[in-house]
Amino acid sequence: MASLNSVYIKLDTLKQITHTLEVKGEKGVELTVAVNDEVNNYNQNVSAFVAQTKEQREAKTNKFYVGNGRTVWTDGKIQAFEYKKDNAQERKAESDKQADETDLAF
């Protein structure tokens, strides 16, 4: 169960992410990487965006996309797995609630 994916992130996007993290006082950002079955017009099937909370997904908040790319290798056996919720996710959800009131990127 493995794959290698390449994602390109523009310098302007990196600067925007860095600025937002500094303003929020955060140490990093969680990204979600989506791998699609079909390619887009640029022959890409991978996209990366800032992770959203359940509440943000349910409210259909726009995703902040950071980059696109492609799968360069896979063994053909990708599977999802369940993970345990930890305190970091709860802290991130609380931080996201407070940040919703700003005009920052995410």
Residue 38: burial class (beta carbons within 10 Å; 0-12, 13-18, 19+): exposed
**Within its chain, how far is the Cα of 40 from the centroid?**
19
Q: Is 73 among the domain residues?
A: yes
Q: Is 42 among the domain residues?
A: yes
Q: Is 106 among the domain residues?
A: no
pLDDT tens column, 76-94: 887 777 777 666 666 666 6
Domain that holds residue 40: 3-99
Q: Is 59 among the domain residues?
A: yes
Reference 13, options 92, 62, 89, 68; nearest CA is 68
Q: Is 60 among the domain residues?
A: yes
User: Number of structural domains, the chain?
Assistant: 1
Q: How many CA atoms lie within 13 A of 60 on its CB side?
A: 0
Quickly list H helices, the chain: 11-24, 54-58, 87-99
This prediction's pTM: 0.75
pLDDT tens column, 26-74: 999 999 999 999 999 999 999 999 999 999 999 999 999 999 999 999 9
Q: Is 104 among the domain residues?
A: no
Q: Is 12 among the domain residues?
A: yes
